[in-house]
């Protein structure tokens, strides 16, 4: 017998995930990207990169990490990397750990999900570090493909993004995955070559 109340609760949880808006316009649209769209895109790009460039990772684990990496945001909310709310930004880790505990209470019947979320939060294997690094690169690629529209909208972002600010928050995080750091540095060279077109400063 299926427990439909539990299934419905999990579906409602995923519906809440879909409602989490990110500080980024969906490419070519005048609406913000949501967490579900972001996670799906991250999963598909990770799969593509692993296959095309023959990277030696546990593919299933990478794809699962992609799917669960932001689920804590159902309760913790998205934290914008350039947030001017210092207290909100500094409490990000605590909010996400509290959210993980809340999800564990709600879905004890799904230990595989909970185990994967916890492993991702600890970043203790090369697969989680790969996903973590790619998660930092994909938004910048989306910005590039959308002609930097989100970051040119200072009313939305509350800050003018420069290539120096971008690298300040991205470089060390992406460096944790050597293959992706190489890709990132190639991409940075492209951004540098179009600096005057893409950045306001």
pLDDT in tens, 55-80: 999 999 999 999 999 999 999 988 87
Max alpha carbon distance in the chain (Å)?
62
- The percent of residues in the chain predicted with pLDDT above 90, rounded, is 74
Question: What pLDDT is stored for residue 111 in this prediction?
Answer: 96
Q: In this model, does residue 198 exceed pLDDT 80?
A: no
pTM value surpassing 0.75: yes
Question: What pLDDT is stored for residue 83 in this prediction?
Answer: 66
- Could you give the domains of the chain? 4-198 (1.10.3210.10)
């Amino acid at each position: 017998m299926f427990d439909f109340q539990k299934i419905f609760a999990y579906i409602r949880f995923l519906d809440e995930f879909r409602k989490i808006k990110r500080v980024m316009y969906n490419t070519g649209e005048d609406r913000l990207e949501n967490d579900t769209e972001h996670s799906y895109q991250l999963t598909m790009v990770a799969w593509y990169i692993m296959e095309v460039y023959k990277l030696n990772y546990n593919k299933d684990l990478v794809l699962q990490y992609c799917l669960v990496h932001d689920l804590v945001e159902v309760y913790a909310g998205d934290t914008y990397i350039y947030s001017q709310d210092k207290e909100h930004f500094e409490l990000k880790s605590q909010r996400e750990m509290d959210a993980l505990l809340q999800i564990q209470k709600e879905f004890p019947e799904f230990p595989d999900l909970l185990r994967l979320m916890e492993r991702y939060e600890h970043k203790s294997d090369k697969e989680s570090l790969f996903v973590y690094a790619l998660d930092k690169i994909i938004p910048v690629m989306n910005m590039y493909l959308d002609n930097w529209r989100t970051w040119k909208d200072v009313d939305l972002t509350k800050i003018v993004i420069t290539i120096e600010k971008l690298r300040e928050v991205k470089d060390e995080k992406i460096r944790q995955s050597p293959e992706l750091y190489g890709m990132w540095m190639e991409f940075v060279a492209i951004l540098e070559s179009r600096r005057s077109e893409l950045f306001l400063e």
